[in-house]
Amino acid sequence: SPTMFDLLPLLIAYLAICTALLTLYFLSDTKLLRNSPLKTYLIRSYKSTVRLCPIAIRRTIAELVTVLLYRRNTAFQCLLVGLLGLGYFIMLRDAIPILYHWDYHSNHVFLPLLLLFTCLCFYACTCLSDPGEITERTLYKYQPVYGHDGQLFRDDSCCRTCGFVRPARSRHCDTCDVCIHRYDHHCVWTNCCIGGLNLRYFLGFLVSLCCVCLNASWLAIESLGHVVSAHRMWEAVWLDAENRQQPMNLRVLVQHLFVTYPRLVLLAFGPVLVALPLIGYTCYHLYLAGTNQTGYERRKLANLLAERQRYCRLGGDVNAGAISATGFGRGWRQNWREVLLPHDRLGRDRVYGSSSSAAASARRTSFSSSKRRNNVATDYAPAGSTNSSGGMRDL
C-alpha cells in the first residue's frame, strides 16, 4: 500500500520548487524582483540560516566551496561523464532489452548513441577550445572589436593583473587568471571560461545535453509502458490500510513500479528532473545570444542600476549619471552570426599592422592617469564601477 513517502508526490513537489527557483533566478535582475520585498526576505532568511550553523561547519563548507567552485579542478567534469555513463549503462542493461522484446522491428539504439556522441563532441570542443584569451600578443585582435560604451565598459578600465587596458566586453577571470574576450562566466562543469570564441560550442552542448536527458527518459517511460501493458497492471487492484480492494491509480502504479523496477523508474524521472532546470538555463543563454548579451553584462548592469537607485533614494540628482541599457545588439541575424562565426568579426575588424606596436599603443594609458580620472568628483559614480583597490576588481 502507498505510504507518506510516495514517489509521485515527491516528484511533483520537486518540480514545483524547481519552477519557483528558476523563476526567481531568471527574474532577479529585472524591475519586477530587483528591489522587491520577496527578494529581500529571501536574502535575510538565507543570512539567518547561515548564522545558525556552527562556525566549524561554516568554515568547512566555505573551504569546500572555494576548492570546487573557485579553483580549477576536474571534479565536476568527472561527475558529468560519470552520470552520463551511468544513465546509458542502465538504458542498455534494462530499457533496451525490454524495447527490443516488444518492438524488435524498430532501432532503439541509433538515436541515443547519436545524441551522446554529439553531446560529447560539443563538450570536448567547449573544454578544449580557446574561449578568447587576451594576452599582450593577442590584444591587437580584440581591442577594436567592440567600442567602450562608457557605462558597462570604460576606455580607462585597466586590468591590474595582465597590465593592459581591457578591451570592451572583456573581464579578467580570477579562476583562470586571464582576461577573456566577451566574457560570460566561468563554468565549473567544463573547467574553463565561456567566452566569445567557445560560446557556440557551449550552446550546442547545452542543447544536446537536454536532448540526451529527454531521450533517456522517453526510452525508460516507453519500456515501463510495455511492462504495464504486458502485465495488465491498470486492471489490477490494491489493498488499502483496512484491507479493502481499491482500483489501480497512477500514484500506486508509480510506487509499485519504483519497487519492482527501481533503475528504470530512476532513469525515467531522473533525467527529467535534471532537464527541467537545464532547459530553463539553456533558454536563458539562447536569449542572451540572440540579443547579443552576456550573463556577466546583465549582472553588471543590474548592479549599476541598484547602485543608482540607492544613490537617488539618498537625495542624489535623478538626471545625473543616467544609465541606458542599449547593449551591443545588431539584430537577431547579426547577433547569431556573431555567436556562430566569431572569427569572422575578428578578421573583419582586425587592426592590420605590427602586433607589438598595436599592443604597445593599447598600453599607453597609464594607471596614474586612470587614477586621476577616477578621483575627479562627479555627480554620480557607482561604487562598483571603479578600479580602486577597495572596489570590485571584475568591474
Q: What rounded mean pLDDT belongs to the chain?
A: 79
337 and 284 share one domain = yes
- Give the residue numbers spanning the domain of 153: 133-181
Return the pLDDT at 319. Answer: 55
Indicate if 123 and 140 belong to the same structural domain.
no
pLDDT digits (tens, 9 = 90+) for 64-117: 888 888 888 899 999 999 999 999 999 999 999 999 988 888 889 999 999 999
pLDDT at 357 > cutoff 60: no
Domain co-membership, 173 together with 299: no
Q: How far apart are CA 349 and CA 144, in angstroms?
A: 6
Final residue of a domain: which of 181, 200, 218? Answer: 181
Residue 381, domain member (yes or no): no
| Residue 276 and residue 249 share a domain | yes
Sign of the Cα torsion 67, 70, 76, 78 reads negative
> Model confidence at 323, in pLDDT bands (50, 70, 90)?
low
Q: Among candidates 198, 183, 142, which has minimal Cα distance to 340?
A: 198
Report yes or no on whether pTM surpasses 0.75. Answer: yes
124 and 167 in a single domain? The answer is no
**C-alpha cell at position 50:** 547561515
Cα distances from 192 to residues 195, 199, 385, in angstroms, run: 9, 11, 26
Residues contacting 30, CB < 8 A, separation 6+: none
Is the separation of the CB atoms in 181 and 166 below 8 Å?
no
Closest of 316, 278, 323, 284 to residue 300, by C-alpha: 323
321 part of a folded domain? no
Domain membership of residue 261 (yes or no) is yes
How many structural domains is the chain composed of?
2
Dig out the grid coordinates for 192 from the structure.
Answer: 574553463
* DSSP string over 247-290: E--HHHHHHHHHHHSHHHHHHHHHHHHHHHHHHHHHHHHHHHHH
Q: How far apart are CA 298 and CA 305, in angstroms?
A: 11
Whether 111 maps to a domain, the answer reads yes
Residues 255, 197: contact at Cβ < 8 Å?
no
Same domain, 302 and 158: no
Within a domain: 334: yes
